């Protein structure tokens, strides 16, 4: 079996990349030290990076990798950069002005602007358009998964400079900004997107790079017609996320369950925990149906189990071997005291999940505590909350905040310190104003903090995305709470995932058309097999919405 070497400066999660390469039939070996003699003999090298540009470049420099990587490239052997790995090839980035890039490609990265109304970071599936001939099979009919706030944003002059230096590019547009999605020159190839998280399309790119081939996919007219919504215009597709609420049932088996306003027990006399399937099998099923992401929520912590034996780690390890879209895990991401009394900081808990294959962690209860502290401190963090520590080490894009709010009606907004909205659905006793009260511990305890205030504080503390549940709507199949979505959207510029209430494909369309939701999540309707993810996407496509439909 051929070997692929991966530079590891402990900046982010390399498990997903290793899984993808293993799946393609290659072995992987991490190179952690610049003096590793295998760097001199490696036949294919990958330079992956996530998170902060400066953190990554400084780590490369302090570990003495800079010159050996340049020597490797000069030797003519193939190198592939991914995400911050691509960014590191440029001169620098406004993200970390003091850190120098490798300087192989002229140009400085800048941050996406929000003035055109887009959410930053860019999280989702975008089209690429290769400027010249296709390289490594990059396919303008496919979608690739991007997650980043900084990019090599280019105008015509900068493109001329790149061309003049012999770099071929594939470009993408996010909002009004055009940026470099991939570059190639001689033996160097790099992508801003994550091929290891871009489904079959991404695996193909990695495979082609490892084989050193540049195939062009031939499509039938029928296929082109199906994919038309994919390539005719730039911009993110409507992201559809399948969510698995996981816990042990009364027999001790790990099951995917589903609540009804968070009550996961059957209404029958026995009141058993609803069992809707096995977590890994369902994750694989939704991946094959075209889910753009899969989220696992550990809805009861496995309290009597040493952390390293938490069954959720195994679920992730197994799922990540065959599911090549982003995986989020939530539940119990906080500072914990292990069964033997050892204190384990949240950063380490998150690290265990990242090393098992998670791409993002979602924080519920602890995010509420962090936000309360943020306001008590005069709207400042103190650097110790899990949001801050995890975001600093793994990047904002790796930290999702799971919000579990309940609607509270008031006669007048002055009745609460939390932000209210005037609702078109007044309460039975005629109250027209409402706010959304945050809950903790799976909805069992309420706090005097609104969802708007929570989202606002968590973004300031470093969260990169909001997973917006709604206890009133959970399991109701009656559609999302549209008012809640735009209410929370108005608090943040990071993406917001609408959750709770999806029952039919039209509910997804409604959320995308009537609110500013960046993604929609569904659970019960998929588990009960009333609809597949593919059917939802086909429905959205039939309504003219862009979706990723390329897994067929």
Q: What is the residue whose two structure tokens read 């199949």?
A: 477
Q: Is 405 in the site for ligand 1PR (CB under 6 A)?
A: no
Is residue 438 annotated as part of the catalytic site, yes or no?
no
Least distance to ligand 1PR, CB of residue 467, Å: 7
Least distance to ligand 1PR, CB of residue 430, Å: 28
Q: Is 524 in the site for ligand 1PR (CB under 6 A)?
A: yes
| 250 within 8 A of 273, measured Cβ to Cβ | yes
Binding ligand 1PR (rule: CB under 6 A), the pick from 21, 83, 86, 333 is 333
Largest CA distance in the chain: 76
Binding ligand 1PR (rule: CB under 6 A), the pick from 78, 124, 195, 364 is 364
Binding mask 291-330 for ligand 1PR (x = CB under 6 A): ------x-x------------------------------x
Looking at the DSSP bridge assignments, the partners of residue 150 are 111
Q: Is 386 in the site for ligand 1PR (CB under 6 A)?
A: no
Binding ligand 1PR (rule: CB under 6 A), the pick from 389, 469, 515, 532 is 469
Least distance to ligand 1PR, CB of residue 397, Å: 18
Measure the N-to-C terminal CA separation of the chain; round to a whole number of Å.
29
Piece of 125-133, 259-267, 276-284, 481-489 that binds ligand 1PR (CB under 6 A): 259-267
- Catalytically annotated residue among 245, 388, 510, 550: 245
Burial 220-253 (b: 16+ CB within 10 A, else e): eeeeeebbebbbeebebbbbbbbbbbbbeeeeee
Is residue 83 annotated as part of the catalytic site, yes or no?
yes
Piece of 125-133, 176-184, 452-460, 518-526 that binds ligand 1PR (CB under 6 A): 518-526
Least distance to ligand 1PR, CB of residue 360, Å: 12
CA distance 250 to 241: 28
Is residue 456 annotated as part of the catalytic site, yes or no?
no
Secondary structure E strands in 45-161:
45-49, 79-83, 90-93, 105-111, 122-126, 129-130, 144-148, 150-151
- Catalytically annotated residue among 194, 456, 487, 507: 194
CA distances from 7 to 12, 69, 196, 338, 389 (A): 12, 9, 15, 32, 24
Binding ligand 1PR (rule: CB under 6 A), the pick from 258, 406, 489, 534 is 258
Is residue 55 annotated as part of the catalytic site, yes or no?
no
Q: How many residues does the chain have?
A: 552
Binding ligand 1PR (rule: CB under 6 A), the pick from 126, 365, 391, 418 is 365
Looking at the DSSP bridge assignments, the partners of residue 335 are none
Compare residues 290 and 479 and give the one whose CB is closer to ligand 1PR: 479
111 class by beta-carbon count within 10 Å (0-12 exposed, 13-18 middle, 19+ buried): middle
Q: What is the residue whose two structure tokens read 């995400």?
A: 83
Compare residues 99 and 298 and give the one whose CB is closer to ligand 1PR: 298
- Catalytically annotated residue among 207, 292, 293, 404: 404
Q: Which residues contact 497 (CB under 8 A, 6 or more apart)?
A: 239, 241, 400, 465, 466, 467, 468, 517, 518, 519, 520, 521
- Catalytically annotated residue among 196, 366, 474, 518: 196
Binding mask 497-516 for ligand 1PR (x = CB under 6 A): --xxxx--------------
Compare residues 421 and 536 and give the one whose CB is closer to ligand 1PR: 536
CA distances from 72 to 61, 69, 428 (A): 15, 5, 71
Take residue 234 and report the two structure tokens written for it: 């730039």
Is residue 292 annotated as part of the catalytic site, yes or no?
no
Piece of 12-20, 363-371, 423-431, 485-493 that binds ligand 1PR (CB under 6 A): 363-371
Q: Which residues contact 469 (CB under 8 A, 6 or more apart)?
A: 402, 403, 404, 405, 499, 500
Q: Is 474 in the site for ligand 1PR (CB under 6 A)?
A: yes
Residues 185-224 that bind ligand 1PR (CB under 6 A): none
CA distance 249 to 273: 6
Binding ligand 1PR (rule: CB under 6 A), the pick from 124, 331, 381, 405 is 331
Binding ligand 1PR (rule: CB under 6 A), the pick from 206, 264, 273, 399 is 264
Compare residues 66 and 260 and give the one whose CB is closer to ligand 1PR: 260
DSSP code, position 167: -
Q: Which residues contact 65 (CB under 8 A, 6 or more apart)?
A: 7, 9, 34
Least distance to ligand 1PR, CB of residue 368, Å: 8
Compare residues 119 and 298 and give the one whose CB is closer to ligand 1PR: 298
Binding ligand 1PR (rule: CB under 6 A), the pick from 147, 206, 243, 468 is 243
Q: Which residues contact 13 (CB under 8 A, 6 or more apart)?
A: 50, 354, 355, 357, 358, 359, 394, 398
Least distance to ligand 1PR, CB of residue 462, Å: 16
CA distances from 367 to 338, 350, 454, 464, 492 (A): 20, 14, 8, 13, 15
Hey, which residues are catalytic here? Answer: 83, 194, 196, 245, 404
Residues that bind ligand 1PR (CB under 6 A): 243, 245, 258-259, 262, 264, 297, 299, 330-333, 362-366, 402, 404, 442, 469, 474-475, 499-502, 522-524
């Amino acid at each position: 079996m051929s070997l692929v070497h991966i530079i590891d400066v402990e900046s982010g999660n390399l498990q997903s990349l290793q899984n993808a390469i293993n799946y393609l039939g290659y072995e992987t070996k991490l190179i952690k030290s610049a003096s590793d003699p295998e760097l001199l003999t490696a036949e294919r090298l990958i330079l992956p990076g996530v998170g902060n540009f400066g953190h990554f470049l400084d780590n490369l420099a302090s570990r003495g990798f800079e010159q050996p990587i340049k020597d490797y490239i000069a030797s003519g052997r193939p190198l592939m950069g991914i995400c911050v790995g691509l960014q590191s090839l440029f001169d620098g980035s406004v993200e970390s002005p003091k850190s120098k890039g490798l300087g192989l490609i002229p140009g400085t990265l800048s941050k996406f602007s929000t003035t055109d109304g887009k959410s930053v970071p860019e999280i989702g599936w975008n089209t690429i358009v290769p400027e010249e001939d296709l390289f490594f099979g990059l396919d303008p009919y496919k979608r690739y998964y991007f997650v980043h706030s900084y990019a090599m944003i280019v105008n015509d002059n900068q493109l001329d400079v790149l061309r003049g230096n012999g770099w071929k590019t594939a470009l993408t547009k996010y909002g009004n900004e055009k940026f470099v999605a991939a570059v190639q020159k001689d033996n160097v190839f790099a992508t801003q997107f994550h091929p290891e998280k871009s489904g079959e399309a991404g695996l193909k790119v990695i495979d082609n790079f490892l084989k050193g081939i540049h195939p062009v996919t031939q499509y039938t007219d029928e296929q082109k017609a199906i994919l038309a919504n994919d390539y005719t215009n730039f911009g993110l597709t409507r992201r559809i996320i399948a969510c698995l609420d996981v816990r042990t049932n009364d027999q001790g088996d790990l099951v995917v369950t589903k609540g009804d306003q968070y009550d996961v027990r059957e209404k029958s006399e026995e009141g058993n925990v609803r069992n809707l399937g096995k977590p890994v099998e369902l994750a694989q099923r939704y991946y094959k149906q075209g889910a753009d992401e899969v989220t696992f929520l550990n809805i009861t912590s496995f309290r009597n189990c040493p952390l390293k034996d938490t069954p959720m780690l195994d679920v992730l390890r197994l799922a990540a071997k065959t599911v090549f879209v982003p995986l989020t895990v939530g539940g119990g991401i906080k500072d914990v005291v292990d069964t033997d009394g050892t204190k384990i900081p949240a950063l380490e808990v998150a690290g265990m999940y990242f090393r098992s294959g998670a791409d993002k962690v979602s924080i519920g209860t602890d995010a509420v505590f962090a936000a309360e502290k943020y306001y008590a401190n005069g709207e400042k963090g103190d650097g110790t909350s899990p949001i801050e520590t995890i975001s600093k080490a793994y990047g904002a894009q790796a930290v999702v905040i799971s919000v579990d709010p309940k609607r509270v009606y008031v006669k007048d907004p002055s009745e609460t310190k939390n932000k209210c909205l005037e609702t078109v659905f007044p309460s039975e006793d005629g109250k027209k104003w409402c706010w959304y009260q945050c809950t903790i511990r799976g909805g069992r305890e309420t706090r005097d903090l609104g969802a708007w205030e929570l989202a606002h504080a968590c973004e300031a503390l470093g969260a990169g995305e909001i997973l917006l549940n709604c206890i009133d709507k959970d399991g109701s199949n009656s559609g999302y709470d549209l008012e809640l979505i735009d209410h929370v959207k108005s608090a943040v510029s990071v993406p917001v995932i609408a959750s709770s209430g999806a029952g039919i494909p039209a509910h997804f369309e409604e959320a995308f058309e009537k609110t500013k939701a960046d993604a929609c999540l569904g659970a019960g309707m998929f588990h009960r097999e009333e609809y597949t993810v593919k059917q939802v996407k086909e429905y959205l496509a039939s309504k003219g919405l862009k979706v990723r439909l390329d897994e067929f």
